[in-house]
A and B are shown apart, each in its own frame.
Chain A
């Protein structure tokens, strides 16, 4: 059953449209991450669901009811803000219990509920402190507690981890995931961090310039990006993309400098000759004595592996290499690319070519335990 339905949702400020018609069905209990760079309209979309922004056109339905005209408090959403937005003059307990106070719940009941919520968040000993006396991670948990206590239909997170340092961010990520497992509340989570998106989401919504580029499970987004935009945004580093002309008879993409990159003709049986963008992951590139000839630029050390940046013709290629390297800038190297892992995109529109065979195996999803029965 769909908990949240967005139907052609649009938002304009004056004549300037920032969200261009978003359609989305979110199932009950699903963890959806809206991913995109800053200014892509992802926060605006979330705030429209929350009721903090008016909806210029289209419909938003929560729990079967159209909420366009409803006040935020009537929509059954709770929100966690990027900068926590705790009330500075109230104690932690008052912050968490404020919505109950407004709802007219008695003081004793309120205290009991606050303690119930604060316990699992590890806030029990801080209930009488003010937000100013807490660390960033604790404030974040207070903000989560404030959202949880209302037992909302929907949790909304607006970049909640971006104010935390890297280690805390990983820890809070785990906590948010655990919280979702425990409560099973439908969740919308906005972020610009693709690692957060990949690790948290049941499904990711990739947005760009007010348009949804792709909706899918993390593995699907990673393995079958539907556009060059998604391909470049997801993964670290993003998909390597080179432009050239495709020759379907030979099963190769001829690059601008004349070298040939083979692709899997079984996978892409119907391709019209012409300009094309070919993509491949750094993991599927090996340094070898066959393949595309290029030159070494520099390497990024990752500890367990290295990212080798090189140039083929006038195009950048990144390879993920396990072994040790002994190259000087400018040294000739060769990139051997696995043809079965080459993705093809329309050169003009940037969309993934249609008519692809053999869908990718879903083993990654099964391993993550994300496949729903």
Chain B
């Protein structure tokens, strides 16, 4: 129902504008705080207009916080997780939609149910597996009385430990499944008639068709994995090498990195540094993101 009523229009616009301001104020304060020197920031009340020390603060924060290292780590993790998720999601959905095998519906629902088991819920067993990847298989073998010596594979303090446990994704599988279900059967049949095998069909027809879908998933997953905090904190003890940006942020206020009392201007500058990549990704992909979620352009 579309209402055309000037009073209602004014009201809804006012509501939207107020919400937008409420949303933007914290960012503005972060930005303003990041642009003053130490003394101005600690005045009461704090100034509401930006000062002139912005780039100075950013570069101080960058160097002191070791951000060239942790941003790179975060980037590796976020890109790895995003890429892995898209790969796993599209492949598993491909299998569920296009192949006819026993238990396929059960498989789908098993994957779907994991939506209810986020990392936080299963963090202890996940940690146990990350510490010794082959342990579940060893346990199963033991159950059958077989003692085959499987090698130990410890993923703690490594990129694979940061990336692999985060890759499984029910959301992505579901998104891809819904997309594949909208692809007309005739297209599959036409490809079959043209002599295409399943892998070629997947790579040359399905993946290009799912570009918008992929962008939507990539946006969500990049932001999600960039913001991962609990998992890296748990498995990374070698913080000099493998700390991610969000982990570093935790030490900013108040902490050993920047010292006591909290140095708000540098801390806020660090904040800005850490939130830039996800914001950029969202801005760049948002056109595709929206199209992927409302996806009708075929």
Q: Do A and B bind each other?
A: yes
Contacts of A103 in B (CB 8 A): 195
The one of A52, A88, A89, A99 in contact with B194, judged by C-beta atoms closer than 8 angstroms, is A99
The smallest C-beta distance from B170 to any residue of chain A, in angstroms, reads 27
Report whether B209 and A73 are in contact in the complex, using a CB–CB cutoff of 8 Å.
no
Contact B200 A83 (CB under 8 A): no
Complex contacts, A233 vs chain B, CB 8 Å: none
B186 in contact (CB, < 8 A): yes
Interface: B190 (CB within 8 A): yes
Known: A87-B205, A88-B209, A89-B209. A72 touches B192 (CB 8 A): yes
Q: Which of B50-93 contact A (CB under 8 A)?
A: none
Which of the four size classes fits the interface of chain A?
20 to 34
Ordered nearest first, which 4 A-B pairs have the shortest CB separation?
A: A73-B195, A85-B186, A99-B194, A85-B190
**Chain B contact surface mostly:** helix
Contact of A85 among B184, B195, B208, B298 (CB under 8 A): B184
Q: Is B189 at the interface (CB under 8 A from chain A)?
A: yes
Kindly list 15 other residue pairs between chains A and B, CB separation below 8 angstroms, not including A52-B193, A98-B194: A52-B189, A72-B189, A81-B186, A82-B186, A85-B184, A86-B190, A87-B187, A87-B191, A87-B205, A89-B205, A89-B211, A98-B191, A102-B194, A146-B194, A150-B194
**Residue B196 CB within 8 A of the other chain:** yes
A residues neighboring B (CB under 8 Å): 50-52, 71-73, 77-79, 81-89, 98-99, 102-103, 146, 150
Chain B interfacial positions (CB closer than 8 Å to A): 184, 186-187, 189-196, 200, 205, 208-209, 211, 298
Closest beta carbon of chain B to A140's beta carbon, Å: 13
Cβ–Cβ contact B184 & A77, under 8 A: no
Q: How far is the CB of A372 from chain B (nearest CB, A)?
A: 29
A79 in contact with B209 given A73-B195, A102-B200 (CB within 8 Å):
no
Asked whether, in the complex, the Cβ of B200 is within 8 Å of the Cβ of A79, the reply is no
Are A79 and B195 closer than 8 Å at their CB atoms?
no
Nearest-neighbor residue (CB-CB) of A99 within chain B: B194
- Can you identify 18 A-B contacts, CB atoms within 8 angstroms? A52-B189, A52-B192, A52-B193, A72-B192, A73-B194, A73-B195, A77-B193, A82-B186, A83-B184, A85-B190, A86-B190, A87-B190, A88-B298, A89-B208, A89-B211, A98-B191, A98-B194, A99-B194
